[in-house]
Structure 1
């Protein structure tokens, strides 16, 4: 039975990955700071899909919390076959006005944390000869967009390299690059959809993003852009 560990699983794309992987029969380990939200989601998934769901409340920016998650990922007696690095947050685009400590936390969560969790997952996956690592990036990684785009650009580049390195050994690494998606991400960043100036047709549904990305993950692709219109926009931006 496949077990998937998902960070940032309490809402948004993380919760949608949990729902769709549970629907496919995967047992889950849900990671986020909000224990109550995780427990509510876990209760729903257990009842609906009859899968095992464990909750691991952790703030991944705290070394001791992150170390607990790393140990769970690396546990050979409870192997993780799918790792979804989804935890993240956004900041206003005016870098010069943002608090620099917030920017450093932003960098750590989007770069250091997925790097550490991927490093924890690889030895066991390589020893078993199979595994999937999903790094939730963004189309912002293909174009200049403050430090958010810079962080996601690193994640895309790292995933491409890692997929080429470890894919032939049975462990694929996929950077998922959605565009604007209907979740609470923008509101939490202080950027309500109306302030983004984005046309309605550019917004994606989280369920479509996750479904299309999991199709690409199953095919072992290094980069997944789960929308035809955003594939065209990225090609134009390049």
Structure 2
């Protein structure tokens, strides 16, 4: 992760975007439901697609969507392959050293452990995580052995095939997999790790950040953001007061 951030920092010295550019390219992973995924038509879908389209409409921006693998999503933003990241990216100090963020569009959410049974060793066992996530940074600071994978499907596969004692990830991402399975269970206590989820941008793109911030603020004030959160995450999801 440190090498990725250092590379992105170097790229940031030479990259930037002005709003004279007619189309804002919205980067996402497309593999992290319900935040973002690729639907049967091959298009980006999910909470962040619907939210991003609405933010662009309110900000009077023309936007398109670009899919990018998670492990290179920050460097490709900084090198101008797209102009924003909307990919369930948690706001934290390490990332803020490389890119800028809007205000959060999802409140800080818990992360959870998933395993095949209760009683697994979460402190000293083998824990699977998605690489480059706040969950990976957390496990790296514990006494557990960490296995990193490029996506959440491979994290769950590692649990099932015995490579890992448990997996650790965003609770709302893990929840449908647990609910739809007959083998996975939540174990241990939930952990809060971030400052919420926001839109990532290059540090030089202050005008674009201000436009998106204003649109997020408007959606919080009129209640439409809370409505969208409940639509995708359920009535019990954390919302804004």
- Normalized per residue, which structure has more strand? 2
TM superposition score category, shorter chain reference: 0.3 to 0.5
- The TM-score, its normalising length taken from structure 1, stands at 0.33
**Larger radius of gyration between Structure 1 and Structure 2:** 2
Higher relative CO (CA 8 A, sep ≥ 6), structure 1 or 2?
2
- The TM-score, its normalising length taken from structure 2, stands at 0.33
